[in-house]
Amino acid sequence: MQFEVLAKCHTTRARVSRMRLAHGVTMLPTFMPVATQAAIKGLTPQQVEALGINLILNNTYHLNLRPGIQVLKEAGGAHKFQGWTHNLLTDSGGFQLVSLSKFTKITEEGALFASPFDGSPTMLTPEESISIQHTIGADIIMQLDDVVSSLTVGPRVEEAMWRTIRWLDRCIEFHQSSGKDDVQNLFAIVQGGLDAELRDKCLDEMIARKDKVAGYAIGGLSGGEEKDVFWRVIKQCADKLPEDRPRYSMGIGFAEDLLVCVALGVDMADCVFPTRTARFGVALTFKGPLNLRLGKHATDMRPIEEGCPCPTCTSGMTRALLNHTATLETAAAHAITQHNLVFQARVMGGAREAIINGTFPQYLKDFFANYFGDVGYPEWCVSALRSVGVDLLEGRPESKTVSGDGAKWEYSDAA
């Protein structure tokens, strides 16, 4: 991997960088759509490519179950299997194992789980996870980490943090001895829960291994913790992680979360949210999400968003049509999915452009004013951005703030 920081925001910690991988260049910050089963739900690889997207995520756990490693081996890796010629990242499989398997026991050796096929005990070790990811052949691969929910407290959090470091060492050793480390790039995952001291220890240990890892992910968040705690952990990690490595915040997808993370110094993020919510009829726009199933869109002959360059908006497809077909016709899911991925790409592309032009603080202010308008800014976003020198309320003393996650006006029952 070649990683080069090209521009830095003069106020916040945001930066623009160029990441060159075996399947091309990806400009950061970027949002990575999730293709769980080696396919972004509702879109062909050619459609994804036509949207300008050149880095997507596959789930190791799912690919390992179906089609299985043998098929991927025969196909010559996941790129060829899914007809994707651009960059690919795989997770380690640990997160799904813990969240989806009925029985998972973490031991020092690895994660012991019941096979979803016949219930027989199966072990996923750090070495096995890397080996599976080698067969998949993704450009960026993740270490196996000991995942605990962000709501877990007590000694388990510290145990998981230290084990994650020991497992990182095993992943590094296996990866380096495989000869694959010149084409596939291993990322470490910073753990430590919501505890600043544990995060700090984990950061120290993982930064000490900098020469052996290509990048860093911030894990163990987006599990239902308070947003005011979430951003502080992101900031702590992004502040300390080395300048010359990409920083990946896992499981972040709401536009406001993405922009706050970028301002705090994050380069990459992924989430199923934009594609999943599309299938429930919710389109993301710069004026906030639209729940196209609501009756008020039934006679609206406008596109989802004026000026949007996506195939849905430029083809003349109306909100009225999408209201008529959302959640009923697969074509509507495809159309809204395309729009939503272009929206995510425009939010991040706009951020990159503003960072390069020196106008990122204003970009943030304009985005929040348009997106939240009268419904009120999430308080945590205001606090987080203040911590990096941007006051969203400056010049807008009349603006409201709202506690919690912030307004979800048309997100309603769309999760």
Q: How far is the CB of 313 from Zn ion (least distance, A)?
A: 3
Task: Check the annotation: does 334 bind a ligand.
Answer: no
CB of 384 to Zn ion, least distance (A): 28
Q: Which stretch binds Zn ion (CB under 5 A): 33-41, 88-96, 336-344, 356-364?
A: 336-344
Measured from the CB atom, the residue of 233 and 313 that comes closer to Zn ion is 313
Selected range binding Zn ion among 53-61, 331-339, 349-357, 389-397, rule: CB under 5 A: 331-339
Q: Kindly tell me which residue out of 148, 284, 308, 341 binds Zn ion, with binding defined by CB under 5 A.
A: 308
The answer to whether 300 is a known ligand-binding residue is no
Nearer to Zn ion, 154 or 307 (CB): 307
Q: Which residues are catalytic?
A: 91, 270
State yes or no: residue 313 binds Zn ion (CB under 5 A): yes
Q: Which residue from 129, 118, 61 is spatially nearest to 95, judged by alpha carbons?
A: 61
User: Known binder of ligand: residue 358?
Assistant: no
Please work out the total of residues on this chain that contact Zn ion, with binding judged by CB under 5 A.
6
- Residue 309 CB, nearest approach to Zn ion (Å): 7
Write down the least CB distance from residue 82 to Zn ion, Å: 24
Q: Using CB under 5 A, pick the residue from 180, 245, 293, 339 that binds Zn ion.
A: 339
Q: What is the smallest separation between the CB atom of 253 and Zn ion, expressed in angstroms?
A: 17
Q: Which of 32, 72, 147, 310 binds Zn ion (CB under 5 A)?
A: 310
Per DSSP bridges, beta strands 104-106 and 111-114 are: antiparallel
Q: Is 171 annotated as a binding residue?
A: no
- Of 15-23, 86-94, 244-252, 296-304, which segment contacts Zn ion by CB under 5 A? 296-304
Q: How far is the CB of 408 from Zn ion (least distance, A)?
A: 21
- The answer on whether 95 is annotated among ligand-binding residues is yes
Is residue 203 at the binding interface for Zn ion, with CB under 5 A as the rule? Answer: no
Beta bridge partners of 269: 31, 249
Length of the chain: 415
Taking the CA atoms of the chain, what radius of gyration do you get in angstroms? 21
Preceding peptide of 29 cis, ω within 30°: yes
Residue nearer to Zn ion on the CB measure, 346 or 365 = 346
Site string for Zn ion, 67-96 (x = CB under 5 A): ------------------------------
Q: Residues 303, 313: contact at Cβ < 8 Å?
A: yes
Compute the least distance from the CB of residue 407 to Zn ion, in Å. 22
Is 268 among the residues that bind Zn ion (CB under 5 A)?
Answer: no
Candidates 42-50, 144-152, 317-325, 337-345; binding stretch for Zn ion (CB under 5 A): 337-345
387 is in an annotated binding site: no
- Point out which span in 210-218, 284-292, 309-317, 389-397 binds Zn ion (CB under 5 A): 309-317
Helix/strand/coil (H/E/C) assignment for every residue in the chain: CEEEEEEECCCCCCEEEEEEECCEEEEECEEECECCCCCCCCCCHHHHHHCCCCEEEECHHHHHHCCCHHHHHHHCCHHHHHCCCCEEEECCCHHHHHHHCCCEEECCCCEEEECCCCCCEEEECHHHHHHHHHHHCCCEEECCCCCCCCCCCCHHHHHHHHHHHHHHHHHHHHHHHHCCCCCCEEEEEECCCCCHHHHHHHHHHHHCCHHHCCEEEECCCCCCCCHHHHHHHHHHHHHHCCCCCCEEECCCCCHHHHHHHHHHCCCEEECCHHHHHHHCCEECCCCCCEECCCHHHCCCCCCCCCCCCCHHHHCCCCHHHHHHHCCCCHHHHHHHHHHHHHHHHHHHHHHHHHHHHCCHHHHHHHHHHHHHHHHCEEHHHHHHHHCCCCCCCCCCCCCCEECCCCCCCCCCCCC
Q: Which residues in this chain contact Zn ion in the complex, by CB under 5 A?
A: 304, 308, 310, 312-313, 339
**Known binding site for substrate: residues?**
91-95, 145, 191, 220
**Known binding site for Zn(2+): residues?**
308, 310, 313, 339
